[in-house]
Chain A
Amino acid sequence: AQRVTQPEKLLSVFKGAPVELKCNYSYSGSPELFWYVQYSRQRLQLLLRHISRESIKGFTADLNKGETSFHLKKPFAQEEDSAMYYCALRGGAQKLVFGQGTRLTINP
């Protein structure tokens, strides 16, 4: 079975502090991992994919197959990072399985 767990429903940090949103997955094969973000009153959008190894808006995420994790990190949080973040996994099928989501709040 494919499963994605985001252990923190809410995360609050101060502006300029480091941010880490945790994501753990369960899948026996080689997964594709994604992070999606939903800003207030906007549609859900793709933030980054593990396959492209990119940094978007200062965020990075590394796939750790040994720990089955795909944590999202940013060294210095900004107020505009406040949003809902979802980790997602695609296994052998076409569909994505999403985690429960983490609401990130950046305090000034």
Chain B
Amino acid sequence: DVKVTQSSRYLVKRTGEKVFLECVQDMDHENMFWYRQDPGLGLRLIYFSYDVKMKEKGDIPEGYSVSREKKERFSLILESASTNQTSMYLCASSFARGTGSFETGYGYTFGSGTRLTVV
């Protein structure tokens, strides 16, 4: 069974702490993504990566950074956590456009999410 694994299901951190959210995929996908999911706002893209050591800002990158040192791992970093970063964080991965089988297509595979609470 293919998987995207997020290291923590629930996290509680204090304001000002540096927070690391880890995501690992075992599907040899080129693309990896970090979204946050908030009621009424849907999924908003924070950062994404097309390849190792490559990253691009999404729609809401402020207050976040990312790291992709290996193809299978994509880390989201909150440099100094704030209460407005309390949210559900979803990691996803996909094949790059033009690669992979048609059946897997260009859809994402999501992790189960990390619910982060900043107090």
Contact = CB atoms under 8 A, between A and B. Distances in A.
Nearest to A100: B42
Which among A43, A45, A52, A97 has the greatest number of chain B C-beta atoms within 10 A?
Answer: A43
Interface residues of A, number: 23
Contacts, number: 49
Nearest to A98: B43
Interface stretch (A11-19, A60-68, A88-96): A88-96
Residue among A34, A43, A94 having the largest count of chain B Cβ atoms under 10 Å: A94
In which size bucket is the chain B interface?
A: 20 to 34
Contacts of A96: 33, 45, 108
Interface in A23-82: 32, 34, 36, 42-46, 49, 51-52
Interface of A: 6, 9, 32, 34, 36, 42-46, 49, 51-52, 86, 90, 94-101
Interface of B: 31, 33, 35, 40-45, 48, 50, 58, 90, 92, 94, 96-97, 105-108, 110-113
